[in-house]
Structure 1
Amino acid sequence: MRKTILSFAMLIAASGAARAEGCFGPGVPLFHCTVAGGANSVDLCLQGDVAYYRFGPVNAVAEMLLARPVTEVHMWPWNGIGRTIYEEAGFTNGAFDYTVHYAIDRIPEGGEMTAEISGGVTVIKGDQTMAQMTCDAGSVTINDVYPLYEAKAAAGQCWDREAFQWGPC
């Protein structure tokens, strides 16, 4: 059922041309949006057992590029209930955590036929939010972090639905 729901989300959110955004070479794009009126983009990508976070100007050198083994990436999968699909993926860089999130409202107001997709990135240091950027309206073109879930499982990690954390299988 999860793959069916995420496949539905991918069909809504990603066009064939958009699939190339946010990745380098043969990687799998997980997330893409623009922030700050289209000046910057936020991208997540998976290449084998390494996940990448990229932030910076669109079509230019990244201001920040983090590469982490999937076992070091924080990933909170959708719990499977409710009208909103919500997932996060987080990267630690020293004292800072960069958490990318997206949400899909499966029952949009007004009876519209397309799901509303929102997203953004939150930068946290310790217990203090340093920055919170919201994706520009309509700019979330890729939003499927399930390949990261599969990569973590392939690396020997299992998601504990009761404790809401990853651990050894």
Structure 2
Amino acid sequence: MNKALVLALFLPEAALADCAEGTFLSCTIKGKALDVCVAGDRVTYAFGPAGVPELELSEPLSALTHSPWSGVGRSIWEGLGFRNEGYTYEAYLSFDRLNQAAGMEGGVTVLKGEKIVTQLACDAGTVEGHFDTLTEAMAGQGYCWNPADFRYQQGGC
């Protein structure tokens, strides 16, 4: 993978993805915007200057790597993974359910294989997110969550 794509996470500016069906996560990280959105049957990760993201990845809902909250712990969280040339960009959204004043948190972890390359947290106070965005989009495409297999399945919900 081009190292410039990983380094693009550190440059200032803002991105804007097409969020037709909903936003999973929107925030700024070191002055740049991160948008993770659902449009049609795809989920898009965009990071970079406004209107011209330096990195934009799109996955069909059916192929998306999804880590939903297990129901354990004080933080409710959810993560979505986007693959690109040996790297995975895991966008996450969370909040402390025992401290409502703490607000939403989010960010992205970049991995090469299983090794963490970098972890970037959203700037404080910039996080907007919706946990139900992915679940509603998947249901609209005929998928439901199968907790036994820890994945979405189509039909038989």
TM-score (structure 1 length as normaliser): 0.72
Cα distance, 1:107–1:127 mapped onto 2, change above 3 Å: same
**Match of 2:41, as an amino acid?**
D
2:127 paired with 1:136 = no
* Residue from 41, 46, 49 that aligns with 1:54: 46
After TM superposition, the structure 1 = structure 2 runs for residues 57-96 of structure 1, keeping only pairs within 5 Å, are 57=49, 59-96=50-87
Deviations 1:92-120 (A, max 9, x none): 11211110001111222xxxx63422111
In structure 1, the residue matched to 2:5 is none
Pairwise CA RMSD: 2.2
Q: Equivalent residue for 1:31?
A: 25
Corresponding residue SS for 2:18: coil
Q: Distance in 2 between matches of 1:155 and 1:42?
A: 25
Consecutive unaligned residues of structure 2, counting only runs of 5 or more, are: 1-14
RCO higher in structure (CA 8 A, sep ≥6): 1
Give the TM-score normalised by structure 2: 0.77
Corresponding residue number in structure 2 for 1:155 = 141
In structure 1, runs of 5+ residues without a counterpart are 1-20
State the partner residue of 1:125. Answer: 112
Residue 166 of structure 1 and its aligned partner are, at CA, apart by 3.2
Instruction: Report the alpha carbon displacement of residue 161 of structure 1 after superposing the two structures with TM.
Output: 1.8
Deviation per residue, 1:100-144 (Å, 9 max, x gap): 001111222xxxx6342211101111111112111111110x211
Contact conserved, 1:86 with 1:101, CA < 8 A, in 2? Answer: yes
Aligned equivalents of 1:95, 1:72: Cα separation in 2:
16
Residues 95-106 of structure 1 mapped to structure 2, 5 A cutoff: 95-106=86-97
Counterpart contact for 1:23–1:29, Cα < 8 Å: no
